[in-house]
Amino acid sequence: DVDEEQLRQQLRTETDAKAIKRLTCALLYRQGKSPAEIEQLLGFPEQTVYDWLDTVAERDLTALGDLPRPGQSTRLTDDQWTELTATLAASPSEAGYDEPTWTPALVRDYIAETFDVEYSLAHMYRVMKRAGLSYQTARPRHYKADPAEQQRWREEFKKSGRR
């Protein structure tokens, strides 16, 4: 029941890429093209064309973009998250660990022990970032080090026979 002129008007003002594709398919369909012909013209699978035509028929023309998709809900409650960020702001020794800094593995262990929630090690980098921490590793050389001075030190070290 969508008028061809309405489709054209919305297509002129639309900025969302997915909505433009849906409107184009609907306009071609309204002009008498079959979904199979639209597939040949635009390269979208015929079933996708059918799905998009259903979307155009069901929704307001101004809302043809993808609907927001909620992510997976967090496994930590707000109170647990507050407790975790407070703990991570302090030294691991204050939480009972004999470690100098928080590492992703240590954070994962702490969450599992304290909150009985399991996360992957890869996810711990995101948790640490969200908590305001960054995981840093030592550099093989100091970035301000003078390469000539380092070479001189190595030569002297070898000559003295010390290892």
- 106 domain residue, yes or no: yes
Q: How many domains does the chain have?
A: 2
- 93 domain residue, yes or no: yes
pLDDT at 51: 93
pLDDT at 14: 87
- Residue 161 pLDDT exceeds 70: no
Residue 106 neighbours by CB under 8 Å, 6+ apart: 92, 97, 99
49-107: pLDDT as tens digits? 999 899 888 888 777 877 777 777 678 889 999 999 999 999 899 999 998 889 999 99
- 8 domain residue, yes or no: yes
What dihedral do alpha carbons 7, 14, 17, 44 form, nearest 10°?
10
**C-beta of residue 119 within 8 angstroms of C-beta of residue 127:** yes
- 64 domain residue, yes or no: no
Give me the mean pLDDT over the 125-135 stretch: 87
One domain for residues 47 and 84:
no
One domain for residues 125 and 93:
yes
- 147 domain residue, yes or no: no
Give me the mean pLDDT over the 111-137 stretch: 88
**C-beta of residue 40 within 8 angstroms of C-beta of residue 24:** no
CA distance 38 to 23: 12
- 13 domain residue, yes or no: yes
- Structural domain boundaries enclosing 86: 78-131
CA distance 150 to 158: 12
- 17 domain residue, yes or no: yes
One domain for residues 8 and 53:
yes
- 111 domain residue, yes or no: yes
Tally of CB atoms within 10 A around 86: 10
One domain for residues 86 and 50:
no
Alpha carbon 37 to chain centroid distance?
A: 37
The answer to whether the pTM exceeds 0.85 is no
pLDDT at 162: 58
CA distance 13 to 83: 48
pLDDT band at residue 24, thresholds of 50, 70 and 90? very high
